[in-house]
Every structure is written in C-alpha cells, then in structure tokens.
Amino acid sequence: MLPIHEIHDEFLKGLSPQNAGGIVRLILQAPTGSGKSTQIPQMLLDAGRIPDGRQIVVMQPRRIAAKMLARRVASERGGTVGDEIGYQVRLDRKTGSRTRVRYVTEGILLREWLREPDLPHVGCLIFDEFHERHLYGDLSLAQALRLQATSRPDLLIILMSATLDTTPLQKFLPDATLLRSEGRTYPVDIHYLDRDPRATQTDIWQSAATTAERMATLTDGDLLIFMPGRYEIDRTLDALGRTAVGKTADCLPLHGDLSPADQDRALSPSPRRRIIVSTNIAETSLTIDGVRGVIDSGLARVARFDPARGVDQLEIEAISQSAADQRAGRAGRTAPGVCVRLWTQAGHANRPPRDTP
C-alpha cells in the first residue's frame, strides 16, 4: 500500500465544504514517491465525488510526466489510455467521451478557459507539483479561485507538492484544508566531491561516469543519474559505454523527446542493472523502482525570460537545496541508498533553499 492511502479518510473528509460558501480548497503536502499523483485522482473518482459527465483535470509542469502518469493510472485500473484515463499536451492528445481523469500541461487548461470560461466539463482541478510555480500555474490558480468564488462554487481545487512551503500558501488561502502525508523513506548516505569538476576542467558527464564506476561497488541496485538536458544525457551515455560498469548494465536515457516505448523501457524492471540518465523529470511525479544509487549533476535547464529580446530561453542553472533533496530521496524509496552530488559540501551551503518561482 502506498503511503498516501494512510490519509485516505482524512482526504475524503477534507472534500466536504469547510466554510459558509460551500467551496472546497485543499492543500496536500506529501513526499516524492508517496503516490499522490496517481492515487489522489483515483480516490476522488472511486468516492463518487465528481458528477458524471465531468472530469478530474490534473495539471503537470511537464509533458512527459502527464503522459506517463496517465499510462500508469490507466494500467492500474485495467484500462487503456484514452478511455477512462487520458492525457492532453501540446500537439498530442489521448482522450475520449468516457474520459474521467485527464492529465494535462498547464497551458492546455488556459486555452480551454478562453473557449469555455466556466469549464462546465471540469469537476475538480488538481495542481500537481505546485512548488515549481510556473506562470501558467499561477494564472490558472488565480482564474480557478475567481471561478469558484463566482459561478462555479461546486468546483474542487486541490494543490499538491512534496516540498511546498505551505505557510505563505495558507495565508493566501486561509479557508483551505491542509493535509500532510509523512510517507516512508529509507536512509540515504549522501556524499560530495572534494573538488568541483569545473575546477579540474572535468566535463560533468565524465565525472558522472567515473562516479558510477565507484558507486557500483557500494550498491547492487540500479543507478539514476540526473543531467540537465538531452545533450548532456547523450554525452553521459557515451562516457558510460567506455566504463566496465556501463558495458555490463543497461544504460538508458529518459527525457521528453523519447518515444513512449523508450520511456517505458527506462521505467521497466530489467534482469540486468539499469543505469538511467534522466532530466529532472525523474525528480518529481515519476517513481523508478529498483534505484539504490543517485548521481546528481546539480544542474537543470530552466526557462527564463530575456527582457532584452522579449523571449523565453532555456538556461542551465544550479538546482536548489530542496530539489537536491528530492533527487537524493529517489535512492531511498524501497531500501537504504547512496547519493553522490557532483559538487562540494561547501558549495551546497551556497545554493538557494528553494527554487525561485
């Protein structure tokens, strides 16, 4: 049983109106891997809380997460994607007339609002991974609150996150019910490098491959390596191919440009050790069973607005301490694990505590 089921009764109780206006707003803080992204929509559906003909819409920051979560939930319910459980992302949609749970990216919902301002087909909006605080997510929440306070008091609003600082959010939504799921994690032994790879002019992917060879002696489980993007993932896989551990393991990429079959391959068990090299998609939303070791580059590609050119651009930045903790926690899901951070302990103290919205 996943940890989120331990608060099943509290969750259903929290769906009852908590104020004179009869509206329902719920904040759920649950650790990575607790099952909130897959189980909360199913709890809502099975409790009959959403009227027939209306959907539970789960907003995800990333396309790959929306697709893979839909496939996972559809499989758990013995169906196929596009029937009871579906998804919709930019240029790709699998839904049908019977779809009750729909995983979407945030921009999809805003476009729906332009067409149907009252969202008559939606019974519940779930903002997953809300701590990432994208512009689309904030706009969607503002519009949802306004809609709920006017023409749609029956609309349920749920915000979920593993590392969300709930204090300012509770001030913003004083009438929201706060629930916490403690989850279950095993200890993770965290190591740092003595010197930053940049100081020795070592490519981050070469440092990761060298660390993977050392880590293979510390654990017999699968390894998960975090890299900022596809280019760095390809370089890491190439470097792993020249190591002893890489030649005896299944070295697999995981990023948004892969086909569904290749994405499933990275997440599926294998008789051999797996070394999965992923973007930060594996940091949240998705759980990869069997991982006992994490190698963290400490980097991520982040969309930033360039005021000089008036466009968004992707920049490689150092991740925050909370993001690093989420990544390390991937090694302790089902047994004690090991995490090696490819930066120094002193450098870690200089990282921001949380991501900047």
When mean pLDDT is compared over 202-211, 266-275, 301-310, the highest value belongs to: 202-211
| Prediction pTM value | 0.85
pLDDT at 20 over 60: no
The pLDDT value recorded for residue 267 is: 83
pLDDT at 139 over 60: yes
With cut-offs at 50, 70 and 90, classify the pLDDT of residue 18: low
Mean pLDDT within 319-339:
90
Q: What is the pLDDT of residues 99-138, one digit of tens each?
A: 999 999 888 988 899 999 999 999 999 999 887 777 888 8
Dihedral over Cα of 258, 262, 268, 270: its sign: negative
The pLDDT value recorded for residue 212 is: 96
The pLDDT value recorded for residue 344 is: 94
pLDDT mean across residues, the chain = 89
The pLDDT value recorded for residue 132 is: 78
pLDDT at 284 over 80: no
Closest CA to 56 of 41, 72, 74, 39: 41
Quote the strand ranges of 2-129, DSSP E.
Answer: 24-29, 55-60, 85-89, 92-94, 101-105, 122-127
The pLDDT value recorded for residue 11 is: 93
Distance in angstroms (rounded) separating the CA atoms of residues 124 and 202? 49
With cut-offs at 50, 70 and 90, classify the pLDDT of residue 305: confident
Order of strands across the sheet that contains 222-226: 188-192, 337-341, 291-296, 222-226, 274-278, 250-254
Mean pLDDT within 65-91:
93
In 3-state terms, what secondary structure has residue 36?
helix
pLDDT at 21 over 80: no
Please give the full DSSP string across 237-290, using - where no structure is assigned.
HHHHTTSHHHHHSEEEEESTTS-HHHHHHHHS--SSPEEEEE-GGGGTT---TT
The pLDDT value recorded for residue 274 is: 96
The pLDDT value recorded for residue 348 is: 95
- Could you give all domains of the chain from N- to C-terminal order, each with its CATH number? 3-180 (3.40.50.300), 188-349 (3.40.50.300)
Q: Are strands 24-29 and 85-89 parallel, antiparallel or unpaired?
A: unpaired
With cut-offs at 50, 70 and 90, classify the pLDDT of residue 154: very high
DSSP classification of residue 29: E
The pLDDT value recorded for residue 256 is: 81
Q: What is the pLDDT of residues 163-206, one digit of tens each?
A: 777 778 888 888 888 998 877 678 999 999 998 887 777 899 99
The pLDDT value recorded for residue 285 is: 67
Quote the strand ranges of 36-121, DSSP E.
Answer: 55-60, 85-89, 92-94, 101-105
With cut-offs at 50, 70 and 90, classify the pLDDT of residue 315: confident
Burial class (CB within 10 angstroms; exposed 0-12, middle 13-18, buried 19+) of 194: exposed
Mean pLDDT within 251-269:
87
The pLDDT value recorded for residue 100 is: 97
